[in-house]
Amino acid sequence: MAYYRSFYFDYKSLADISYRLEIYDNKLGSNSSVYSNKEGKLGSTGAVIKFGSDGGNLYAPLKASTLEIPYLVFDTLSKTYINQLKTNREERDIYVHLYQENLGGTATPTTRPIFTGFLLMDLSDDPDESFPYQIKLKAVDGLASLKYFDFIHPTSDQNVTGVYEKNQTWLPDPTASFGLVDAQATFIQWIRRILFYSGYSTTSKGAAGGSDARIITAVNWFNQQMPNTNGDPLELTKTTAKPFYTVDGEEGETKYKAITAYDALKSICLTWGMRCFVWRNHWYFIQINRFDEDESGNNLNPVNIKNFKYAISYLSTASSIATNDALDQTVGRYKITIDNLIQNSQVKKLAGGQYGLLPALKKVVVDFANVSNINYFTEFPLLDPSPPTGTTPQILRRYSSLGIFEIGASDDPAP
């Protein structure tokens, strides 16, 4: 079945940035006219993107993201649609796309979504309240969902044991129904094969035109066996399928226990020192040591980290479809003006902080050195109220009288 837009939501952030959120449904069926292109409402917080981490580990190779949606139930139509989601939908039947774009009515977005993913079906309970009330929905980018799939050939059926015949895996076997695979494959091919299980977003699932998922890599490890240092090391390096399986099975038979697609991707990232995350429907694989590249160019054409772009298909062996000199391909460096004025085009000052003020000193106790029981402490040096300007260093001292001290005073500190 095809995906159709059921609801769309237009809203603005506190910085006056316009957003469009869209829900695409794969099972509208006879209800396609009832729930087609309806304008919905969100709670006061708007949709929120959050990135996860690998517990307390400093290096988290996989950074999965989620989108929290405060769906507002304000009439019978919005309520019955939530009931449809709960009773008649499965995971990956519903995709959501969030755009940073100012649109009106049923207009179609033209930019890449800043977040895209499928809706989880563990919906919250309906509150026993009158309209309006809020239901929290959550969408994921698909990275974390790799944990639920064993890394086997996509034409093979998953099972609960995680143990498979050789001809069901990526290990070369002439009896496999999908044919004999190569003994070695590039790391780009392995990443493509793993991402098959992510449920990555495509235009057929509602993403705006030209927004099919892509892989972007930025890696800088070469060895002397590579033909040049201009290509992508992930495409110039091959490995076998053996690291993804361990021999298992009963006595007299040889089977293979597969690791999950999540662990397979994590192991590749650890091997190369990469971090994976999804942004604007691009699956980024960036080697951590590449973040310290010197920036050049200008705001319109920055030059920082060379990267390669690939189409995603587990059957593909194609080379990169584009090479770029900057990672910030859609939104890059920018200037933020912060002030106290109410201007729609400016970033707003964060309010709510408090500044502590101390009262003026009325009595001060100091320790000082004296010789022969004579007090030589006369006054405090004060900083000049007008600090120096310009780039030339200056040393300024300004003194004022603290009080009158008697010569031959006792050892007691001066008041």
What pLDDT does 109 receive? 95
pLDDT digits (tens, 9 = 90+) for 181-221: 999 999 999 999 999 999 999 999 999 978 899 999 999 99
What pLDDT does 414 receive? 47
pLDDT value at 403 more than 70: no
Compute the distance between CA of residue 415 and CA of residue 406 in angstroms, rounded to an integer: 12
User: Quick one: pLDDT band at residue 349, thresholds 50, 70, 90?
Assistant: low
Q: Which range, of 98-107, 227-236, 274-283, 319-328, averages the lowest pLDDT?
A: 319-328
Interior angle at CA 135, CA 132 and CA 140, nearest 5: 150
Domain edges within the chain: 4-141, 145-324, 361-415
Distances, alpha carbon 234 to alpha carbons 105, 203, 240, 263, in Å: 44, 27, 14, 18
The mean per-residue pLDDT over the stretch 277-295 comes to: 87
What pLDDT does 67 receive? 97
What pLDDT does 317 receive? 92
Residue environment code for 390-409, b if the CB has 16+ CB neighbours within 10 A, otherwise e: eeeeeeeeeeeeeeeeeeee
Residue 198's φ and ψ, nearest 5 degrees, are -80, -20
pLDDT digits (tens, 9 = 90+) for 45-98: 899 999 987 766 778 899 999 999 999 999 999 999 998 898 889 999 999 999
- Of 196 and 414, the one with more pLDDT: 196
Q: Which residues contact 147 (CB under 8 A, 6 or more apart)?
A: 260, 261, 262
What pLDDT does 293 receive? 73
What pLDDT does 267 receive? 96
Locus of tokens 């007008």 = 386
pLDDT value at 258 more than 60: yes
pLDDT value at 179 more than 50: yes
The mean per-residue pLDDT over the stretch 112-116 comes to: 94
Q: What percent of the chain has pLDDT over 70?
A: 77
Structure-token pair, residue 13: 């952030």
The mean per-residue pLDDT over the stretch 26-38 comes to: 84
Structure-token pair, residue 314: 């587990």
What pLDDT does 375 receive? 62
User: Which H, E and C letters describe 257-287, residue by residue?
Assistant: EECEHHHHHHHHHHHHCEEEEEECCEEEEEE
Torsion-angle region of 89 (φ positive above 0: left; ψ -120 to 50: alpha; else: beta): beta
pLDDT value at 415 more than 50: no
User: Quick one: pLDDT band at residue 404, thresholds 50, 70, 90?
Assistant: very low
pLDDT value at 341 more than 80: no
User: Quick one: pLDDT band at residue 302, thresholds 50, 70, 90?
Assistant: confident
Which of 16, 67, 64 is CA-nearest to residue 42? Answer: 67
Compute the distance between CA of residue 396 and CA of residue 139 in angstroms, rounded to an integer: 60
Compute the distance between CA of residue 239 and CA of residue 96 in angstroms, rounded to an integer: 36
The mean per-residue pLDDT over the stretch 114-127 comes to: 84
pLDDT digits (tens, 9 = 90+) for 139-165: 999 999 999 999 999 999 999 999 999
